Structure 1
Amino acid sequence: MDIQTETKWHPLLSDPSDSRRPKPRETGRTMIMDKGLGPNAFQDLLSTSGPYIDLIKFGFGTSPLYPIPMLKAKIASAKAHGIGAFPGGTLLEAAVRLDVTDAFFRSALELGFDAIEVSDGTIDLDRQTRDALVREAGEYGFRVFTEYGKKLTGSRISLDDLCLTAERDLQCGAEAVTIEARESGVGVGLFDEDGKCREEELQQIVRRFPDADRLMWEAPQKEQQALLLRTLGPDVNLGNVSPQDAFSLETLRRGLRSDTFALHRMIAHYEI
């Protein structure tokens, strides 16, 4: 045996789904929610799961609580791994309420964030203001992700409203529209009070929305991720994933876990 030969797994075992693409990806994106990881834990996350993470959201309003050097270092590390970084939409909602949106955008840019989330999960935004925020973020050079839905427990998806909102957001320059499920995935949007998916509503959304690849589904629970992958395929965009679940979600995407074993593509073009 040649000791110089690189050891590697057979391609079919690395990705039985035969679907995963390298970054940057436009589909099959995974967005992680960071709720306060320390520098060492953050580096550990990137060293193991960096290739499988596309976006990191610094959840809700956590960004101003960090020492500035630490926050800048985390953002720079994420970007060095090809991962987009953005503050949670709740922080922009606070900036809107306090009438300091220009200062918010300038600070986000100076800190090194390369994306922004525009949402109205807590406040109410009229359509004109939402349009203006999406466009202003784009003018600053940010990638823009918007979010549809309220954070209040019991909030449901209005199919017509979702379609109108998403289509308008995309026209204004949003890269993708995220469907709200909070960090719990319980009792909000697509998921009921037990965290179960309202599958009929999911099918209605997929049928009605012509550009489903530009939707991102917040799905913090493993069962929710598995169902969306089985229903929509390994290229579905998933968000609000816990950092500790980034690695295991990738196994779900590739069919390397029993929950999504059916994603295997039994193909013949590899040499056995």
Structure 2
Amino acid sequence: MIKVAIAGARGKMGIEAVHTVMKRQGMELVAALDYKQVGTTLADLEIFPVNYNVPIFTDFSELVKYTAPDVLIDLTSPHAVYEHTKQAILHNIRPVIGTTGFSDEQLEELKQLAEEKKVGCIIAPNFAIGAILMMKFAREAAKYLPDVEIIEMHHDNKLDAPSGTGVKTAQMIAEVRTEKKQGHPTEKETMPGARGSDFEGMRIHSVRLPGLVAHQQVLFGGEGQLLTIRHDSLNRQSFMSGVVFSIETVVGIEKLVYGLENII
């Protein structure tokens, strides 16, 4: 039985994760981490059934002391996720992270810490299996069509831009693509930001609108042709198969993995 704790259980992704773990054979939800005093158990919240008697902790050390989880799922916010991940590894708890916003320096530090402690850690910019395939296909296409732009579209409450998926896609493409400046050599933005962010000459555009969940298209241009690779998450249930896969996988590894494409 894998004992699981969830940070961010009241969020839209967190609610789905709570239901998924509660119903999954071989897993037990033992705790929730929430820095607001919202109740004693998840059953105290109107968003969960009355039989969800999972304790809520406002202090991570107390959570570890009283419930000793094997895995911490973090679905919180960029400003909290780094510290949660670091503390989990230090306590020999395996983090499964669905929050983006890590700096390169933070990722390197966490990677070294996980290897030193021999504690598995999975950081997934996107849990949707289709999105992972989209990134893999985009990397393959970039070998032959190196002129590429990424358009990622998310709900208007998302805190970071570009999205972790957009950045991860660009990083994967950059592994097989020689850095190059796209567009006219002397092009000029008449409004700052019109061309999006620049990643090794690739452009990443972020759209934030109500009604969206998580969507991305990668456009490849060539002489007389356009290739578009697109993925759409229509609801948050689309991420849960990846969450389950990550929980089951992280207990068997002893290092940090950034991106599910490395283990799928």
TM-score range, shorter chain: 0.3 to 0.5
Q: TM-score, normalised by structure 2?
A: 0.34
TM-score w.r.t. structure 1 length?
0.33
